[in-house]
């Protein structure tokens, strides 16, 4: 595992208690002598993203979790098998539904896999535009996570409304460009469906440097040192780095555990090697560090977008005369991945030489990141499980198979 070449820790910009301060007591140890009857509870739905199709079977010793089993599988999107019955082009809209908060990055991961399978070159301008849209999707996702996490904490709606306010402003720009606020269906093999108008880029740049910068400042002032947030997230839901790596955890959740791994740095896919950005790294692997990862990554994404807008070359937005409909790759297989907002999203495609994939499999970060949920929740209180789940940042379109 090759680490990124630049990083900075969450503690450098957080309100983490000093090392000399006593840590929170180990709740499991406090209750070791309690031998009452265990209580099994079916818990949920309780997270804004779950809308009735996710719950947890929790076994409690008093209010302390001793066993937890996530229960999912009721959305029945059947995305992978549907894609095997359709053309390669027809699968692009279905990727939007995997993570409906980040459809642009889903598009990107899939079209990169097809381009790798076929051997399609992408024009430089299209790569720059893909990076701009991918980082914009990351910002939208992280802003929502911060708001939803505070909602899970039981605070007022203020932080969530601040986040949704900015999300709507960014979605106004996304809708103007793609025609949709959520299911964008904008990426194509060899580039994008359409070019980006110059005035659109100027307005995006102006918004990120002004309105969104103010949002980051006000959220940071309101939340980062907030005593309620500190009490409910520090030393809660700790994920050790060794467990994170062995469980295949990726994205901000992995980096919060102190593992310096970002696919944009490791693989240098697209043109990310041209962008000098930093990768935030956590110190403790708890809910607070996972919150800080999102807060620290958003300014880095803004920096990448601004640099890409400044250096955007002229040229084609898609490979000239590139065939999207009726694509028939040669017999073979490939796996392609990108650093999505929630972690590694990858596509494994097997071609039998026909116009539709013989096998089509998705590696979604939400599903993989959920595998460590029980380990993070055992020994914590029932109320903390909601916060821990919120810090994982799942979306059910990626979880249900």
Distance CA 374, CA 66 (A): 9
Q: How many domains does the chain have?
A: 1
Does residue 22 sit within a domain?
A: no
The torsion angle over the Cα atoms of residues 196, 198, 204 and 210, rounded to 10 degrees, is 170
Query: Given a cut of 50, is residue 184 above it in pLDDT?
Result: yes
Instruction: Return the sign of the alpha-carbon dihedral for residues 20, 21, 27, 32.
Output: positive
Average pLDDT, the chain: 89
The neighbouring-strand residues paired with 60 are 39, 65
Distance CA 333, CA 343 (A): 23
pLDDT of residue 84: 95
Q: What is the Cα Rg of the chain in Å?
A: 21
pLDDT of residue 401: 67
pLDDT of residue 33: 53
What predicted TM-score, i.e. pTM, was given to this entire model? 0.90
Q: Domain limits at 253?
A: 7-16+27-399
Distance CA 260, CA 57 (A): 33
Phi-psi sector, 164: left (phi>0), alpha (psi -120 to 50), beta: alpha
Distance CA 110, CA 243 (A): 28
For the stretch 7-36, pLDDT in tens is 556 554 566 755 434 344 444 444 455 556
Does residue 106 sit within a domain?
A: yes
Does residue 215 sit within a domain?
A: yes
- The single-letter DSSP state of residue 220 is I
Tokens representing 17 are 């208690």
pLDDT of residue 223: 94
Contact of 328 with 354, CB cutoff 8 Å: yes
- The single-letter DSSP state of residue 25 is P
- Strand locations in 165-319 (E): 187-188, 191-192, 279-281
For the stretch 276-335, pLDDT in tens is 999 999 999 999 999 999 999 999 999 999 999 999 999 999 999 888 888 999 999 999
Contact of 109 with 338, CB cutoff 8 Å: yes
Does residue 2 sit within a domain?
A: no
Q: How confident is the model at residue 397 (pLDDT cuts 50, 70, 90)?
A: confident
Does residue 201 sit within a domain?
A: yes
- Residue 53 is part of a domain; what is its CATH number? 1.10.645.10
Residue that the structure tokens 């680490």 belong to: 3
β-strands 191-192, 55-61 pairing:
unpaired
Query: Given a cut of 50, is residue 251 above it in pLDDT?
Result: yes
**Directed axis angle between helix 124-152 and helix 382-392, to 10°?**
170
For the stretch 329-367, pLDDT in tens is 999 999 999 999 999 999 999 999 999 999 999 999 999
């Amino acid at each position: 595992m090759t680490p990124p070449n630049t990083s900075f820790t969450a503690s450098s910009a957080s309100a983490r208690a000093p090392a000399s301060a006593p840590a929170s007591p180990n709740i499991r140890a406090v209750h070791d002598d309690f031998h009452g009857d265990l209580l099994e509870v079916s818990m949920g739905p309780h997270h804004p993203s779950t809308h009735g199709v996710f719950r947890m079977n929790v076994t409690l010793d008093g209010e302390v979790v001793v066993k937890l089993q996530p229960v999912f599988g009721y959305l029945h999107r059947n995305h992978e098998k549907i894609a095997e019955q359709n053309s390669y082009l027809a699968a692009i809209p279905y990727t939007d539904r995997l993570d409906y908060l980040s459809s642009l990055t889903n598009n990107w991961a899939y079209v990169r896999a097809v381009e790798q399978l076929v051997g399609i070159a992408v024009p430089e301008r299209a790569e720059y535009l893909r990076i701009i849209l991918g980082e914009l999707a990351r910002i939208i996702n992280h802003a929502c996570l911060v708001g939803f996490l505070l909602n899970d904490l039981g605070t007022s709606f203020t932080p969530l409304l601040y986040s949704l306010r900015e999300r709507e402003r960014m979605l106004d720009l996304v809708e103007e460009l793609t025609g949709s606020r959520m299911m964008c269906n904008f990426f194509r093999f060899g580039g994008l469906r359409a070019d980006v108008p110059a005035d659109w880029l100027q307005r995006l740049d102006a918004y990120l440097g002004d309105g969104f910068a103010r949002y980051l400042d006000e959220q940071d002032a309101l939340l980062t040192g907030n005593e309620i947030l500190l009490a409910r997230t520090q030393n809660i839901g700790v994920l050790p780095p060794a467990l994170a790596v062995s469980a295949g955890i990726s994205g901000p959740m992995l980096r919060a555990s102190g593992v310096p791994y970002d696919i944009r740095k490791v693989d240098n896919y697209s043109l990310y090697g041209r962008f000098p950005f930093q990768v935030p790294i956590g110190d403790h692997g708890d809910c607070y560090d996972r919150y800080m990862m999102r807060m620290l990554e958003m300014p880095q994404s803004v920096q990448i977008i601004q640099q890409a807008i400044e250096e955007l070359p002229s040229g084609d937005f898609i490979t000239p005369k590139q065939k999207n409909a009726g694509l028939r790759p040669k017999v073979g297989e490939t796996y392609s991945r990108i650093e999505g907002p929630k972690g590694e999203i990858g596509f494994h495609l097997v071609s039998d030489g026909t116009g539709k994939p013989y096998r089509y499999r998705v590696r979604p970060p939400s599903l993989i990141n959920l595998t460590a949920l029980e380990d993070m929740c055992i020994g914590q209180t029932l109320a903390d499980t909601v916060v821990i789940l919120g810090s994982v940042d799942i979306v059910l379109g990626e979880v249900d198979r």
